[in-house]
Structures are given as C-alpha cells and as structure tokens.
C-alpha cells in the first residue's frame, strides 16, 4: 500500500508579555506580586469614558530590539488601531493594537537548517484574564474576570506558514523564547508569559487556529492532534472548516470555540487618542548598539572557548541565560568545562526539572556546585553516590560537603567486606548465575552492596571483593 504524504503548513502567532514595570498605556504595575484580583487597575485599564492612553516607551524599545534581532525592517512610521470585538476580557469592547503598519516586519529565524519567515512584530495591549471558576472552558457554569492583566504590553510575533511539522514548531518557540530572554524583553521570573495561537492547515484544506496555548510541549501536542483530526476528515470525504479551536490540556485534544473571523470582521480604525509613532534611524541605532550577544553567537563562543561540542553548548545556552552564566562562573572555579557541562546538562538540569524550577530560582550557587564537582574529582564521593547527592543538594541548597558529613563516614574496608559477604549470602540465585557465567549478575550484586552502603562504596573495589570472595577472576 502506497502512503501519500500530506503537506502540513503551520504558522504561529506568539504573544510575549514584555519586561516593563508599568502597563502599556498607564502607570499601573504590569506584574504586581501578591496582588488581589482587580487591584492593579485604573481608569485607563478599565476603559472609563474620557480616560486617555499614554504610550510606554520601554515597550517600543523592546519591540524594536526584537525586530533587529530577527533581521526585520523597522518601519519609520507606525500607528495604533482599535480592533473592535465584544468579549468580557476587553472592557472597552476594543483592543488597542497595530494592524496596517507594524513596528517591524519581514525578518527570519533559522531553525533546523530551515528559515522561518517573520511576517510582522507589533505592539498591543493584553486583555484581562478569564478564570473558569468551577471547572474548565467546557464545564464551568460561570467565569470571573481579573483586570490586573488588562493593558500589560504584548509583543505579537507572527510567522509565515513556513513551519512543516509540530516538532519544528516547538524548536522555533524554544529558539524564539531564548532570543527574547537574552534581549531581556521577556522575564519569566516576574510572572510574564508566552502564549501561542497556532494556525495549521493540511494541503487543500482551510486554516484552523488553535487559540491561547501555553507551554511549548502543549503546542506540539495540539498540532499533532489537529493534523490527525484534519487528515481523518479528508479521508472521510468531509471538509476542514475555517474555525478557532481550544486545546484541552487534560484530554490532549482540540475542541471548537467559534467559527474563525476574518480580519475585516474586526472593523479596525485608527486610534484617535494616540499619535503616529515615528521611529528615527538614531533611535534604532541606539537600541542596536546596546543589544547583547544572541544565543547562537554565545553557543558558538562557548564551544570555541571551552572545547564543548556544538550540541552541548546549545543546550546550555538555550536552557536560559541564567544557565549559561552559571556555567561560565563554575568554570572559573572548577576549570574542567567538559565535566561541568556533563554534570549540568545530565544531572543538575534533571533535578531542577523535577522541581519545576529554573536555576535562577534555586538555591544552587556556582561555588557550591564547583565544590560538588571537586569532591568527585578527588574521590571523596564516587559517581554513583554523586548522582544521588545532587538531588539532595538541589532540594536543600546545602553545601555538598555538609550533606556528605551528615550522611556519615564511608564504610571502612572491613565493613565493606562484611557487607559483601552478607549480600552474597542473601542472594544465592545471583551468585549461582554469576558462577555460571552471567556477568549481569555481578552488576546486580554490586548494586545490592551499594544499596546497603547508601551508595558510599567504590563499585570497582566492590567488584574486586566479590571476585575474591567467590574465588573468581575479575
């Protein structure tokens, strides 16, 4: 049976809450910590009649910087429009956004050797937050509205439909978020978020939009589900309709929200309360001169300066700017970059992910992590014990030397011999298998000894003791 490949076209609209202290059009705090619902609001946020917006220059700087980073053309004149629609998260019944002329346009980002074209980067205000009070979108009987989020500055980054698979969509988002973080346009630690509207169509079908997906893994899952759903409709001879859908994070399915609107349905009009925004060449130059190195350049430098493989260097850089900075600080203390990289990528990152914690939020410091690696180097802890030790270290933030001291001294040679004899006595079947030539039985016995000693023994020494006790060759 011949399988016919169906072309998939994916375009993304990424909404990034920008790193500013105040909202886009007023002085209310953008990311108030521990604020009660509807507390960080004013007449402008709530759309009171006569309230006039005043534009936040820092937000413009961020969008210009994002555009420069992606090789966009920065438009010298732009303006704001009113996007009219009725929904409870918009108290004015319109959103102030950019439509006809964005701040930046016509850029690219390279992902997996493919160039993804950036159609536009524009600035707009975030709507309020809708809270499904006693269930999900599908099951709740009423909703609540928190207007603290209304007016938070958003950069919307819109791609062309150049992405060919859900996996590439996720890779694009991971790279884009790293660029935004290194630019300091996006700071997750403040509570800022990235939300994605994913547009997808299969060859010959209408475009379907999956609205407000959070989390890159969820974007990939939503797109994978939607590809299967649309392909099944085509196989059944049915038409894929243009619509907006919602991704259910629990069921991992998409569900219909509404028929997809067309741009003309929003009735865009020029916002008379805001002037035409003129971005001079001098303004662009100032921002360009202050821009930091971007992730690809930093990864190439780490690979060159520290002798890392290109793949490992990219993992360190794209995990976050805090992770890359930490790596370099540790290397200044413990000058074995490849070893630092291995333990950070394979074990430190795994422990942080288990706690759903970024490195900058943890109690881990470059000094104590360097001490941890130094203890391994000097044989104070073996590698197997170190893999357990790092979990407690990340959990507590205590010095590794203190954790080891609390655990007690490692067993003496005599204590280890007694433990080996007891393990051999209690595991007769494994001993028989080892004598019959099954070498995996020896690994099992070594593991049992390590378990009894809380991973404090040296596996090589244990293997030698087992061989001596059973009078077998090493």
23-59 pLDDT per residue, tens: 999 999 999 998 999 999 999 999 999 999 999 999 9
In the predicted structure, residue 1 carries a pLDDT above the cut 50: no
Kindly report, residue by residue over 126-145, the tens digit of the pLDDT.
Answer: 999 998 888 777 778 888 99
Q: What is the Cα–Cα distance from 408 to 393, expressed in whole angstroms? A: 16
Q: Residue 454 — very low, low, confident or very high, per pLDDT cuts 50/70/90?
A: low
Residue 270 backbone class (left: φ over 0; alpha: ψ -120 to 50; beta: rest): beta
Answer whether 328's CB lies under 8 Å from 301's CB.
no
**The tokens of 260 are what?**
């997809």
Statement: the pTM of the whole predicted model exceeds 0.75: yes
Q: What is the pLDDT of residue 410?
A: 65
The pairing of strands 114-125 and 94-97 is: unpaired
Distances, alpha carbon 103 to alpha carbons 122, 225, 421, 446, in Å: 5, 34, 75, 64
pLDDT at res. 24: 97
CATH of domain 413-470: 1.10.10
Q: 313 and 300 in contact (C-beta within 8 Å)?
A: yes
Best-predicted range by mean pLDDT (331-340, 347-356, 379-388): 331-340
Distance of CA 332 to the CA centre of its chain: 27
> What φ, ψ does residue 90 adopt, rounded to 5°?
-120, 100
Flag whether pLDDT at 5 surpasses 70: no
CB 225 within 8 A of CB 254: yes
d(C-alpha 458, C-alpha 295), whole Å = 40
Within 206-333, strands assigned E span: 208-213, 243-248, 253-259, 269-270, 277-278
Residues 455-466, mean pLDDT to the nearest whole number? 74
Which tokens hold the place of 430?
Answer: 């494994």
Question: 3: pLDDT confidence band, cut at 50, 70 and 90?
Answer: very low
Q: Give SS3 for 105.
A: strand
Question: Lowest-confidence range among 31-45, 308-322, 419-433, 447-461?
Answer: 447-461
CB 146 within 8 A of CB 46: no
Q: Is 204 exposed, middle or buried (0-12, 13-18, 19+ CB in 10 A)?
A: exposed
CA distance 223 to 169: 9
Q: What is the pLDDT of residue 431?
A: 78
For the record, the structure tokens of 335 come out as 């000058």
Q: Which secondary structure element, helix H or strand E, spans residue 201, and what is its range?
A: strand 194-202
Per-residue confidence (pLDDT) for residue 169, from 0 to 100 = 97
Which residues belong to CATH 1.10.10 in the chain?
413-470
pLDDT the model gives residue 2 = 44
Determine which of 32-36, 59-63, 154-158 has the lowest per-residue pLDDT on average. 32-36
Q: Which of 242, 259, 184, 146 shows the shortest CA–CA distance to 18?
A: 184
91: Cβ contacts below 8 Å, ≥ 6 apart: 45, 46, 47, 128, 147, 150
d(CA 393, CA 242): 52
Across the chain, mean pLDDT equals 90
> Hey, what are 306's tokens?
């520290």
Cα-based angle 126, 71, 119 (whole degrees, multiple of 5):
50
Q: Is the pLDDT of residue 473 over 60?
A: yes
Q: Is 157 within 8 Å of 198 (Cβ atoms)?
A: no
Which stretches of 246-294 are DSSP H helices? 281-290
Instruction: Grade residue 412 by pLDDT with cuts at 50, 70 and 90.
Output: low
pLDDT at 156 over 70: yes
In this predicted model, what pLDDT tens digit does every residue of 232-263 receive, in sequence order? 998 888 888 899 999 998 889 999 888 766 66
Q: What is the mean pLDDT of residues 164-175?
A: 95
Please, are residues 143 and 86 in contact by the beta-carbon 8 Å criterion?
no
Judge contact between 47 and 217, C-beta under 8 A.
no
Rounded Cα distance, 222 and 149, in Å: 25
Instruction: Give the pLDDT mean for 383-408.
Output: 87
For residue 37, give both structure tokens: 């619902």
Q: Is the pLDDT of residue 101 over 50?
A: yes
Given pLDDT bands bounded at 50, 70 and 90, which one contains residue 455?
low
């Amino acid at each position: 049976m011949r399988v016919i490949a169906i072309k998939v076209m994916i375009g993304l609209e990424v909404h990034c809450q920008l790193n500013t202290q105040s909202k886009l059009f007023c002085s209310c705090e953008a990311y108030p910590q521990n604020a009660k619902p509807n507390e960080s609001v004013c007449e402008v946020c709530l759309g009171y009649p006569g309230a006039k917006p005043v534009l936040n220059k820092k937000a413009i700087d961020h969008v210009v910087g994002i555009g420069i980073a992606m090789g966009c053309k920065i438009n010298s004149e732009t303006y704001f429009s009113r996007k009219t629609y009725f929904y409870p998260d918009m108290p004015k019944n319109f959103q102030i956004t950019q439509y006809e002329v964005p701040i930046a346009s016509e850029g690219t980002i390279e992902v997996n050797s493919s160039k993804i074209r950036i159609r536009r980067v524009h600035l707009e205000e975030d709507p309020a937050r809708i809270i499904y009070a006693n269930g999900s979108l599908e099951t709740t009987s009423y909703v609540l509205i928190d207007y603290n989020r209304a007016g938070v500055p958003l950069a919307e980054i819109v791609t062309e439909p150049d992405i060919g698979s859900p996996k590439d969509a996720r890779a694009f988002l991971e790279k884009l978020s790293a660029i935004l973080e290194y630019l300091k346009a996006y700071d997750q630690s403040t509570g800022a978020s990235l939300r994605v509207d994913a547009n997808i169509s299969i060859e010959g079908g209408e475009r379907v939009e999956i609205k407000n997906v959070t989390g890159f893994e969820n974007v990939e899952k939503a797109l994978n589900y939607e590809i299967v759903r649309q392909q099944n409709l085509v196989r059944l001879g049915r038409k894929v309709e243009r619509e907006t859908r919602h991704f259910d994070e629990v069921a991992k399915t998409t569900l219909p929200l509404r028929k997809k609107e067309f741009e003309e349905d929003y009735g865009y009009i020029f916002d008379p309360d805001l002037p035409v925004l003129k971005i001079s060449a001098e303004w662009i130059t100032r921002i360009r001169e202050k821009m930091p190195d971007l992730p690809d350049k930093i990864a190439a430098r780490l690979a060159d300066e520290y002798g890392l493989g290109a793949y490992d260097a990219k993992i360190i850089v794209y995990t976050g700017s805090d992770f890359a900075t930490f790596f370099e600080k540790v290397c200044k203390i413990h000058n074995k970059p490849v070893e630092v990289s291995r333990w950070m990528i394979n074990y430190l990152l795994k422990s942080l992910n288990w706690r759903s914690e970024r490195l900058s939020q943890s109690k881990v410091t470059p000094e104590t992590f360097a001490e941890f690696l130094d203890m391994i180097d000097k044989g104070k802890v073996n590698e197997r014990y170190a893999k357990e030790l790092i979990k407690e270290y990340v959990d507590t933030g205590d010095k590794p030397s203190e954790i080891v001291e609390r655990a007690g001294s490692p067993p003496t040679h005599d204590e280890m011999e007694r433990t080996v004899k007891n393990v051999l006595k209690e595991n007769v079947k494994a001993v028989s298998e080892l004598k019959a030539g099954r070498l995996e039985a020896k690994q099992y016995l070594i593991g049992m000894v390590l378990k009894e000693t809380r991973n404090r023994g040296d596996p090589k020494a244990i293997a030698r003791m087992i061989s001596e006790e059973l009078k077998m060759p090493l």
